[in-house]
Structures are given as structure tokens and as C-alpha cells.
Amino acid sequence: MSTNEPILIDAREAGRLLDMLPARVTRLAKRGDLPCVILPDGELRYSEEDLRKWVKGYRRPTPASTAGRRDG
């Protein structure tokens, strides 16, 4: 990470990274399902590194029955 890149990002940027709406990012964070940082004023921010780890935690192997199958 270069010094020009932000340490924390907002819900809009997190949503762009995760391919979901910012409102969903915020909702997941508020219910404790998505890692976030709560700033002193109550605003939520997100670490790109934490979000990437979160996504990796939800990756699942492709079921054997569909591996290598071609549709169409």
C-alpha cells in the first residue's frame, strides 16, 4: 500500500469493492457481520484488508458435481 492510499474507506468505496450497495455494507456492519471501524463521531469506516479477509472467509470450493461442467 502506498502512502497516497487511504487507510480506511467509506461505505460507498466498500460497496464498490464488494459489489454491493453502500446501504447493505452499512447494515451488515451495524449488525456485526462485516468488519468495520467506528470513528469517535459514530461514522463507520472499513479497512480494505479486513474486507478482503472477510470475503476469503466466505469462499467455498466448487461442488464436485459442477466442477468442469459446461452449460450450453
Instruction: Give the start-to-end residue ranges of the domains of the chain.
Output: 11-54
pLDDT at 66 over 60: no
User: pLDDT category, 2, cuts 50, 70, 90?
Assistant: low
Mean pLDDT across the chain: 87
Place of cell 461442467: 69
pTM over 0.85: no
8 in Cβ contact with 45 (< 8 Å): yes
